[in-house]
Amino acid sequence: MVSVDKAVIAKLKTHNQNFEILVDCNLAIGVKEGKSANMKEVLAAIKIFSDAKKGLEASESAMKQIFETADPEEVGKIIIQRGEIQLTSEYRTNLREQKRKQIINMLHINGVDPKTHLPHPPQRIQNALEEAKFHVDEFKSVQEQIQEALKKLRPILPIKFEIKEIAVKIPAEFAAKSYQILSAFGTKLREEWQNDGSLSVVLEMPGGLESDFYDKINSLTHGNVEAKVLKTK
């Protein structure tokens, strides 16, 4: 549980009533994004206020009428999900920057140039997002904002999401060591150990990771590996 002096206020105004809670900022944002959390850890005080700064508690009868419960944890969750979390301007800026980097990274990993089928460098994606005046919402999850980012990007930067199925055959002496790389880059659709100890795998991965995957697997095997794209979707 966060201390009261480090907590921020989350508030909801509804039915001409004010409801406020003191929350851990990071955990509350996670709840707003749909992540599960222990509300005892989210709330700095297991109380619902009508005015948190003055320490005035909300009416139990009003909560039961509006929320159909007066349980502070249940009401607190509703306040976070439907209401507003008051953040400092510095925190909002840092949060936006963090999500901006996550969005760029996701576009780099999953997106490719439709003509070359190669990923765009992160800096190119960043420049295009700035040119498109894409606004990062600090309260929305990265997944929610990806489609809007793609919509803004496409008139400026040709990009599409691709999934590739890649068949890989790894010699026996590198097969066991390859597991970590294979797991890091994609999902194994098929796996078969050959009589000579070599490993054959069909791996599904985001198109933007293909080049990095080849670099890693070639480095491990000193180029002694067979790989080919079976399908692009």
Query: What does residue 161 show for φ and ψ, rounded to 5 degrees?
Result: -85, 130
Domain boundary among 127, 142, 160: 160
Residue 43 is classified by DSSP as B
Final residue of a domain: which of 62, 85, 108? 85
* Residues 149 and 220 reside in one and the same domain: no
Are 145 and 102 contacting, i.e. CB atoms less than 8 angstroms apart?
no
* Average per-residue pLDDT for the chain: 93
Q: Are residues 137 and 180 in the same domain?
A: no
Q: Structurally, how many domains does the chain consist of? A: 3
Last residue of a domain, one of 85, 108, 132: 85
The answer on 75 and 30 residing in a single domain is yes
CATH code, domain with 189: 3.30.70.240
**Would you state the pLDDT for residue 101?**
96
User: Are 151 and 171 contained in the same domain?
Assistant: no
Residue 73 shares a structural domain with residue 17: yes
CATH of the domain at 116: 1.10.10.900
Residue 123's pLDDT is what? Answer: 97
Burial of residue 138 (CB within 10 Å: 0-12, 13-18, 19+) is middle
User: What is the CATH classification number for the domain harbouring 46?
Assistant: 3.30.1250.10
DSSP state of 176: G
Identify residue 138 by its one-letter amino acid code.
E
Boundaries of domain holding 111: 89-160
Give me the mean pLDDT over the 68-74 stretch: 96
Q: What is the average pLDDT across 129-156?
A: 91
* 9 band by pLDDT with thresholds 50, 70 and 90: very high
- Tell me what pLDDT residue 181 has: 93
Residue 207 CA to residue 219 CA, distance in Å, equals: 20
72 neighbors 64 (Cβ within 8 angstroms): no
In angstroms, the CA 110 to CA 116 distance is 14
- Assess contact for 120 and 157: CB atoms under 8 A: yes
Residue 64 and residue 75 share a domain: yes
Task: Give the pLDDT confidence of 185-226 residue by residue, as tens digits.
Answer: 999 999 999 999 999 999 999 988 998 899 999 999 999 999
Q: Across the strands, what pairs with 23?
A: 8, 43
Residues 146, 189 share a domain: no
